[in-house]
Amino acid sequence: EDQVTQSPEALRLQEGESSSLNCSYTVSGLRGLFWYRQDPGKGPEFLFTLYSAGEEKEKERLKATLTKKESFLHITAPKPEDSATYLCAFSQGGSEKLVFGKGTKLTVNP
């Protein structure tokens, strides 16, 4: 069964303490791997799309990477405003639908 698993479920960091979030996926014919940020009570906000193993994308303190089995969202020197739930999703060949993981709730303490 095609699925995506995110770990950890929750992560607490001190401001400036770098870390990584993991997204493991099992899918035949991966078409795209997506990262979203979601603040409480709001809609997911698009961050990155990755299409092939070895690809990397960066935005401010965030960098997303992709291998054949997983993706990482690296957070460098996080700030309290980076606190949010980060969602991972994939699409596969023959279907434009996205399959979402349950997310990692990140809290960055000042």
State the residues that interact with other proteins by CB under 8 A: 31-32, 34, 36, 41-46, 49, 51, 87, 89, 91, 96-98, 100-103
The token pair at 99 is 């399959």
The separation between CA 40 and the C-alpha centre of its own chain, rounded to angstroms, equals 16
How far is the CA of 88 from the CAs of 16, 45, 85, in angstroms? 23, 11, 10
Q: Is the CB of 15 or the CB of 51 nearer to other proteins?
A: 51
CA–CA separation, 9 and 108 (whole Å): 15
Nearer to other proteins, 32 or 67 (CB): 32
Min dist CB 15 to other proteins, Å, is: 27
CB of 24 to other proteins, least distance (A): 15
